[in-house]
Amino acid sequence: MASKDKAQSASVPGKPWPKAASVDMAAWTKQASQSAPNGDVNALGWKTPDGIQLKALYTAEDLAGLAFTNTLPGFEPYLRGPQATMYTVRPWTIRQYAGFSTAEESNRFYRNALASGGQGVSVAFDLATHRGYDSDHPRVIGDVGKAGVAIDSVEDMKILFDGIPLDRVSVSMTMNGAVLPVLAGFIVAGEEQGVKPELLSGTIQNDILKEFMVRNTYIYPPTPSMRIVGDIIEYTAKHMPKFNSISISGYHMQEAGANQALELAFTLADGKEYVKTALAKGLDVDAFAGRLSFFFAIGMNFYLEVAKLRAARLLWWRIMNEFEPKNPKSFILRTHCQTSGWSLTEQDPYNNIVRTTVEAMAAVFGGTQSLHTNSFDEAIALPSETSSRIARNTQLILQEETHIGSVVDPWAGSYMMEKLTQEMADKAWEIILEVDAMGGMTRAVESGWAKLKIEAAAAEKQARIDSGSDVIVGVNQYQLASEDLVDVLVVDNDMVRNTQLTRLKSVKAKRDPAQVDAALAALTAAAENNSGNLLDLSVKAIRVRATVGEVSDALEKVYGRHRADTQKVTGVYAAAYDSAEGWEKLKVEITDFAKQVGRRPRVMIAKLGQDGHDRGAKVVATAFADLGFDVDMGPLFQTPEECARQAIENDVHALGVSTLAAGHKTLVPAIIQELKKQGADDIIVFVGGVIPRQDYDFLYEAGVKGIYGPGTPIPASAKDVLEQIRKAIQA
């Protein structure tokens, strides 16, 4: 009782606080070691995937030698934020990235979102549009409208933004491969709405280098693709002063498996390459640098994500100093962020609401300028309206109820955060210097080095999850005894495609063919002669109702279509898999199979349609190969006919289809029928990826032998595939 009275009296006004013990690290270490595993205090921390050792305790000594711990937001080096007042005056912009099948459906969603608190429009296009195909192209039968909105002409674009005032609402468009016809369609839609190009605001992603590393929605090879980037920066600098001509994206790198240091380094190295490309066009750095924007993923490594965004601004300021701009805005990194889609789980999916909230807070603490929060059901299907509302309201609650935005960079001065920010910057800078030594990011991408670095990180991460060393609640620990089905949005692929075909036919019937032919010929000539501005010529072609596919084809005549190689990393999954007993037992079973059958089990991993997200396919191929399977990788963007032919030629036992973009109900039955048609129905077919459980029976009835949804440990799927191969041989 006496000690309590003494503590209370110390806080009485006019009386000083009692004196605390001085910092004594030796005493803390001694006390902490009593509860630390094996008495090792260092084991209390965490070594991040980036190789940074997080300590359990940070003190003022950790700030020693750091150069930028006493800075202000809005001033060089911008570590604490690009604006002086940040969210205290203007909160971050709430954007919801969405595209639903047809332009009409997407327009309805955008208008509802804006009326419900959304502050900008962010457009997701379907894979056919991304890859520069019109909806009537035979290669995209299973892709039209499945992972975003289908856009074939400016008539679709006009419907997409009907009733949305483009002089007042900013529009972000995730488009890279078919960036010319899509951006041109947006410009012409604005014109025909009465909005001049100089009044349009928003961002076009236009980040082609990352497509060659991870997302794979490219069309042309790297060199001509970089010319397109430069032409767009040039055109927008002259005609669209409120529009961001490029969003340099690390998001898809982290989604493909990159750790935070790789994502940060490769994104900034891409940005540096784009600056050099624009300068080579003869532009002054201050004419465009202030309109560059960035785009980062925010995953579940909370501290690392906050530090990453702070380090990104610091490093971009350092990079831009090399180009000696005069305008202070040219040094500033501004960024959009999106919570991770990969961290969302099919199992116990309502946990994803919590994950998204944690990730959103990290983005805000890091100082993002705008934010998209993913919906809890996106590990299963396209988001429903209910889940989209919850995701949007997550941001509104953070803005309106928490007062988080009332303080600018509240992590400043934190011993841990300041040290971690510097360590993150140092790790990324090492990688940037490595890229520079190769001759820049274009060279690093063309060589395949950058892609393999990301794939190795992805394989390591999956192995840690599968072996249980990385805990995912509801997946590898704390699982539900049974999973309830979640209502998901289902897109009628046939309906969407028929709608698009009807509109395409109408557009072509009403236009002047001679005008279209002349505009497309001008594009082809400019590509051949390296003359003119390709965006300017695309705008002219779109005005006369050339289609997205026709504009893309006009350039493909000169540039061709890029084909990626199918190399994969080896040994990485096995090295990181921390469950040796089960792993070794499965390897023995595969060795026994080879002795009995006379060869090892052979599988082919395939991606069908225009879905270029190949993280899952590459990780599965790596792990199966490390176990002892013979593994073939099919090239991206195969048709069922091409895939079946390769599987037969390679004499595989099993064909695994990796799917992410909701085309499985069209493309998987098609590959099974094609195998039968070509006399190879003894090849078993298994499927992995984002597949709603509601679709499992449909796929099994179609002839699929195994379905492995998100969260399935790869060794478990490998064991099942081996058993299915045995059964097929015995039959």
Residues labelled as active-site residues: 97, 251-252, 607, 611, 613
Alpha carbon 266 to chain centroid distance? 13
Establish whether the linkage from the previous residue to 349 is cis, with ω within 30° of 0: no
Asked if 129 and 146 touch (Cβ cutoff 8 Å), the reply is: no
Q: What is the DSSP code (8-state) at residue 330?
A: G
CB atoms within 10 A of CB 143: 31
- The DSSP annotation for 116-133 comes to TT--EEEEEBPHHHHTT-
DSSP at 211: I
* C-alpha distances in Å from residue 598, one per residue of 98, 624, 721, 725: 51, 19, 18, 14
Q: Which of 406, 311, 347 is nearest to 690 (CA)?
A: 347
Please give the Cα distance from 697 to 533 (Å, whole number). 52
Residue 190: in which H helix or E strand, if any? helix 179-192
| Residue 418 CB partners (closer than 8 Å, separation 6+) | 62, 63, 66, 69, 412
| 355 touches 334 (CB < 8 A) | no
Determine the Cα–Cα distance for residues 76 and 328; give it in Å rounded to an integer. 9
CB atoms within 10 A of CB 323: 15
- Cβ–Cβ < 8 Å for 604, 647: yes
Residue 229 is which amino acid? V
Q: Cα–Cα distance between 225 and 209 in angstroms, integer?
A: 8
Q: Transcribe 228-291 into DSSP letters.
A: HHHHHHHHHHHH-TTEESEEEE-HHHHHTT--HHHHHHHHHHHHHHHHHHHHHTT--HHHHGGG
Neighbours of 223 (CB within 10 A): 10
CA atoms of 466 and 384, how far apart (whole Å): 29
Q: Which residue has the tokens 């991993």?
A: 605
Q: Is 531 helix (H, G, I), strand (E, B) or coil?
A: coil
